Amino acid sequence: MDFLFPENLNDFQGCQKSRGFLNMKTEKISSIRDGTAIDHIPADVTFKVIEILNLEGIKSAISAATNLKSKKMGKKGIIKIGGKYLTSEEVNKIAIIAPDASVNIIEDYKVKKKQQVSLPDELNKIIKCSNPNCITNVEKVPGKFRVKNKDPVKVKCLYCERDMKKEEIVLL
Amino acid sequence: MESLGGEVLGFDDAEVTSAKKGETLWDTAKMVEKYCDIIVIRHPVEGSARLTAEVSSKPVINAGDGANQHPTQTLLDLYTIQKVKGKLDNLHIGLLGDLKYGRTVHSLTTALSHFNPTFYFIAPPALQMPQTYLDELEEKGIKVVIEKDLTKVSKKLDVLYVTRIQKERFPDPVEYEKYKGFYKIDKKILPHIKKGLKIMHPLPRVDEIDRSLDETEHAIYFEQAANGVPVRKALLALCLGLEKH
Q: Give the domain ranges of chain B.
A: 2-66, 71-225
Q: The pTM is what? A: 0.78
Nearest by Cα to A79 from A36, A26, A27: A36
Strands A153-157 and A163-165, bridge-based pairing: antiparallel
Domains B2-66 and B71-225 in one fold? yes
Cβ neighbours of residue B148 closer than 8 Å, sequence gap 6 or more: B122, B123, B124, B125
Nearest beta carbon to residue A160 from set B26, B46, B135: B46
Q: Note whether A127 and A110 are same-domain residues.
A: no
Nearest by Cα to B133 from B99, B157, B165, B158: B99
Q: Which of B23, B45, B60, B133 to mutate to test the interface with A (most CBs of A within 10 A)?
A: B45
Helices within A2-154 (DSSP H only): 46-52, 88-97, 135-138
Question: Is A133–B66 a contact, with Cβ atoms under 8 angstroms apart?
Answer: yes
Q: How many domains does chain A have?
A: 2
Helix, strand or coil, per DSSP, at residue A101: coil
If one counts every other C-beta atom within 10 angstroms of the C-beta of residue B183, the result is: 21
Q: Note whether A45 and A105 are same-domain residues.
A: yes
Q: Note whether A141 and A95 are same-domain residues.
A: no
Residue A12 lies inside a defined structural domain of this protein: no
Q: State the average pLDDT over residues B26-48.
A: 93
Q: State the average pLDDT over residues B39-56.
A: 95
CA distance, residue A26 to nearest chain B CA (Å): 46
Q: Of the residues A94, A116, A138, which one is the last residue of a structural domain?
A: A116
Q: Of the residues A99, A116, A133, which one is the last residue of a structural domain?
A: A116
Q: State the average pLDDT over residues B161-175.
A: 80
Q: Note whether A133 and A91 are same-domain residues.
A: no
Q: Note whether A165 and A130 are same-domain residues.
A: yes
CA distances B203 to B63, B77, B107, B238, Å, are 14, 12, 15, 25
Residue A149 lies inside a defined structural domain of this protein: yes
Q: Note whether A58 and A33 are same-domain residues.
A: yes
pLDDT for the residue numbered B21: 72
d(CA A160, CA A133): 8
Q: Which residues span the domain enclosing A148?
A: 122-171
Q: Note whether A57 and A105 are same-domain residues.
A: yes
CA distance, residue A143 to nearest chain B CA (Å): 10
Helix, strand or coil, per DSSP, at residue A121: coil
pLDDT band of residue B245 (cuts 50, 70, 90) is low
Residue of A nearest to B169 (CA): A133
pLDDT band of residue A52 (cuts 50, 70, 90) is confident
Share of chain A above pLDDT 70, in %: 84
d(CA B14, CA B205): 24
Q: Note whether A103 and A161 are same-domain residues.
A: no
Superfamily, domain B71-225: Aspartate/ornithine carbamoyltransferase (3.40.50.1370)
Residue A164 lies inside a defined structural domain of this protein: yes
Strands A62-70 and A74-82, bridge-based pairing: antiparallel
Where is pLDDT greater, at A92 or B224?
A: B224
* pLDDT digits 0-9 by tens, B51-95: 999 999 999 999 999 989 999 999 999 999 999 999 999 999 999
Q: Note whether A67 and A138 are same-domain residues.
A: no
* pLDDT digits 0-9 by tens, A14-43: 333 333 333 345 556 778 889 999 999 999
Q: Note whether A129 and A97 are same-domain residues.
A: no
Q: State the average pLDDT over residues B10-26.
A: 72
d(CA B67, CA B46): 6
pLDDT for the residue numbered B39: 95
Report whether pLDDT(A59) > 90. no
Cross-strand pairs, A17: A22
d(CA A70, CA B146): 44
Residue of A nearest to B19 (CA): A139
CATH number at residue A142: 2.30.30.20
* pLDDT digits 0-9 by tens, A101-111: 999 999 999 99
Question: Is A135–B68 a contact, with Cβ atoms under 8 angstroms apart?
Answer: no
User: Candidates 1.10.260.40, 3.40.50.1370, 3.40.630.30, 3.30.1330.60; correct CATH number of B2-66?
Assistant: 3.40.50.1370
Q: Considering only CB atoms, which residues of chain B are within 8 Å of chain A?
A: 24-26, 44-48, 50-51, 65-69, 130-132, 135
Cβ neighbours of residue A88 closer than 8 Å, sequence gap 6 or more: none
Residue A15 lies inside a defined structural domain of this protein: no
d(CA B65, CA A15): 64
CATH number at residue A38: 3.30.70.140
Nearest by Cα to A168 from B117, B202, B131: B131
pLDDT for the residue numbered B64: 93
Identify whether the C-beta of residue B161 lies closer than 8 Å to the C-beta of residue B200.
yes
Residue A54 lies inside a defined structural domain of this protein: yes
Q: Note whether A106 and A164 are same-domain residues.
A: no
Where is pLDDT greater, at B95 or A87?
A: B95
Buried b (16+ CB within 10 A) or exposed e, B220-231: bbeebbebbeeb
Nearest beta carbon to residue A163 from set B66, B67, B132: B132
Residue A130 lies inside a defined structural domain of this protein: yes
pLDDT band of residue B177 (cuts 50, 70, 90) is confident
Residue A102 lies inside a defined structural domain of this protein: yes
Nearest beta carbon to residue A159 from set B50, B130, B132: B50
CB contacts < 8 A, A to B, total 47
d(CA B174, CA B32): 38
Which residues in chain A touch residue B44, judged by CB atoms under 8 angstroms apart? Answer: 133
Q: Note whether A71 and A107 are same-domain residues.
A: yes
